[in-house]
Chains A and B, each alone.
Chain A
Amino acid sequence: MMQLGLFSQPIWSVTEITQYLRELFAEDQQLQDVWVQGEISNFSRPSSGHLYFTLKDAGCALRCVMWRTAAMRLNQLPRDGEAVEVHGKIDIYEAQGQYQLYADLLRPFGEGALYQEFMRLKSRLEAEGLFSEERKRALPRWPRRIGVVTSPTGAALRDILNTLRRRYPLVEVVVAPTAVQGEEAPPGIVAALEALNRLAQPDVILLARGGGSMEDLWAFNDERVARAIAASQAPVVSGVGHETDFTIADFVSDLRAPTPTASAELATPNRQDLLDSLVDLSGRQVRAINASLTGLRLQFQRLSNRLTFLSPQTRIRSDRQRLDEYAYRLQLSCQHHLQLQRTSLHNLEGQLHTLNPTAVLQRGYSIVSKGEGRVVRSTSQVQANDILNVQVSDGIFNVEVRNPDSG
C-alpha cells in the first residue's frame, strides 16, 4: 500500500515543472517590473551584441541578460566591478533551468538618487515660474555677436564653431571658457555667463556640452546655473548632451537645442537660405521694374495715340478727304447739269432748224429786199427801175422793177 501511495503521486516531466515555475514567476507582478542594485561581474558581449553579466552583492548572485536592442541605447557599456542599477523582469532560462534578470535599463549606481534630486529641483523652480513661457525671449533674426559658454577643449566648441563657419560666418563669436564637469563646473558656468553679459553683450548665448552620463551632465542641473541663465541679459540657447538628455538648464533656457551643433543652428540663419532669399529678392526686383516699365510703356502708347489723334496733321488729312469728297460730288452735279443743258440745246437746235428761212428758200421761195436789207413785203415799197436783191437758196441776184402795179 505504501508503495501504492508512492506511485499515486503524479510525475512531472522536467519541461512540465519548468513551465509550472515560469507561470508562477509570470503571475507575480513584482517580478515583471523590478530595479536591482549590485556590482557587475563576468561581463561578456559576444558578437550577437547581447550583454551577459552577473549582478552580485556580499552574499548572492543574479544572472542577467540584456538583449542587443536594449544594449544599443546605453551611453557606455558597464564594466566588471561597476556598481549599477538594473531594471527588467525575472524569468527562467529553460535550457539551463536558471532564473535570470532580463534587463532593459542599466544606469550607474546613484543615478537613481540623482534623478530624485533632479525632480525635486525641477518642480521647485517650475513652481517659482522660472520655466514659464512668458519668460522665454525671442532670438534675434541676425545675431551680430554670439557668446559661447563651454569647455575650451571639448568637441562641443569645435562643433559649434564649424556650424557657425558653415551657416553664418558674418557673426562674431566670444567664447567664455569654463569647466563643464565636476565640482568647479557650476560656479565656472555662472561666472562665464556673467562675464559674457558684462564684457561682450552678445545678442545670444549658447550654453553647451557634449554627451555624457547623467553624472557628467550634472553641472547643468545645478540651481546656481539655472538662476544664472534666468538672470542673463542675452537670451540663452542650451545644447547639452544628446537629444534624449534633459537638464534643468534646458528648462530655464530661452530655447533648448538637442545638441551643441543644434544650438548653433537654432541661433543663426542658414547661409544657403540667405543666398536663396537674395536670389528671390533680386528676381522680384527685376520683375517689379519690368512691370513698371511695361506700365509706363503702355501709358506712353496711350498718350502718343491721343496726340496723333489730336494733331493738325490728322485734321488736315481728314479735311483733305472731305475736300476730295466735295470735289467728287461737285463734279457729279456739274456733269448732270451739262447733260441737261446739252439736251435742251439739242431741242433748241431742232426748233431753230424749222424756223431757218433758208429751209423755206429751198422749197422754192425767195426773199426780196431793197437797199440795206429791207424785206419787200408790198408793191407799194417799190417803184420802176428799182434794183432789188433776190435771195434764193443758193445765192443772191439783182432784178430791175418794170411794172410795179401789175401785180
Chain B
Amino acid sequence: MTKSNPMTGETTAESFPPIQGMTYEQAFSELEAIVAALESNERALAEGMALYQRGQELAKYCAQQLDEAELKVQKIAGDEIVNADF
C-alpha cells in the first residue's frame, strides 16, 4: 500500500513492502541502497527518518536471518527431490 503526501510528495514508512518473508539477498540489497541514498543526497527530514528506520529494520532482519537460519538439506532420489538427513 503506497501512501504519499500530495503536498510534499514524500513517502511515509507505510509505503515500504513488508520485510517478513524477504530473502536475505533482497533485504541486504535494499539496505545497501538505503545507505547509499542516505549518504548521497539531501532529502526531507521525514523521508530521511523513514529511510533510516527502514534501514535499521532491514539490518536487524538480516542479522536475525543469519542467526536463526538452519541449513536445509535435500537430495535427489530418482526423479524427485526429497528431504535428506545427512
CA distance A192 to B77 in the complex (A): 10
CA distance A284 to B35 in the complex (A): 7
Which of the candidate stretches A26-34, A253-261, A270-278 sits at the interface with the other chain? A270-278
- Interface positions of A (Cβ within 8 A of B): 142, 144, 152, 157-158, 161, 164-165, 169-177, 192, 195-196, 199-200, 271, 274-275, 278, 281-282, 284-285, 288-289, 292-293, 295-296
Known: A176-B76, A278-B63. A285 touches B56 (CB 8 A): yes
Q: Which of A161, A199, A282, A293 has the most CB of B within 10 A?
A: A282
CA distance A158 to B24 in the complex (A): 25
Which of A152, A170, A281 is B35 in contact with, Cβ under 8 Å? A281
Contact A174 B81 (CB under 8 A): yes
Residue on A with the closest CB to B63? A278
Chain B residues in 8 Å Cβ range of A295: 42
CA distance A397 to B66 in the complex (A): 135
CA distance A66 to B74 in the complex (A): 47
Tell me the B35-86 residues at the A interface (CB within 8 Å): 35, 38-39, 42-43, 45, 48-49, 52, 55-56, 59, 62-63, 65-66, 69-76, 79-81, 84, 86
Contact A281 B32 (CB under 8 A): yes
Chain A residues in 8 Å Cβ range of B39: 284, 288
Whether a CB of chain A sits under 8 angstroms from the CB of B34 is yes
Contact A173 B55 (CB under 8 A): no
Known: A142-B25, A281-B35. A289 touches B48 (CB 8 A): yes
CA distance A195 to B82 in the complex (A): 13
CA distance A173 to B71 in the complex (A): 7
Which of B23, B31, B81 is A144 in contact with, Cβ under 8 Å? B23
CA distance A315 to B62 in the complex (A): 58
18 A-B pairs with CB atoms under 8 Å apart are A142-B24, A170-B65, A173-B71, A175-B73, A177-B75, A278-B66, A282-B55, A284-B35, A285-B34, A288-B38, A288-B39, A288-B52, A289-B38, A292-B38, A292-B43, A292-B48, A295-B42, A296-B45
Chain B residues in 8 Å Cβ range of A275: 63, 66
- A-side interface mostly: helix
CA distance A199 to B80 in the complex (A): 7
- B-side interface mostly: helix
Given contacts A142-B28, A165-B71, A292-B38, 19 further A-B contacts (CB under 8 A): A152-B86, A164-B71, A171-B71, A173-B72, A173-B74, A174-B74, A177-B75, A195-B76, A271-B66, A275-B66, A281-B31, A281-B55, A285-B35, A285-B56, A285-B59, A292-B43, A292-B45, A292-B48, A296-B45
Contact B56 A199 (CB under 8 A): no
CA distance A196 to B77 in the complex (A): 11
Nearest Cβ on chain B to A286's Cβ, whole angstroms: 8
Residue on B with the closest CB to A288? B38
Nearest Cβ on chain A to B16's Cβ, whole angstroms: 15
CA distance A144 to B55 in the complex (A): 23
Contact B59 A174 (CB under 8 A): no
Nearest Cβ on chain B to A274's Cβ, whole angstroms: 6
Which of B25, B49, B75, B86 is A176 in contact with, Cβ under 8 Å? B75
Contact B43 A199 (CB under 8 A): no
CA distance A345 to B66 in the complex (A): 105
Nearest Cβ on chain B to A339's Cβ, whole angstroms: 66
Nearest Cβ on chain B to A193's Cβ, whole angstroms: 11
Contact A175 B76 (CB under 8 A): yes
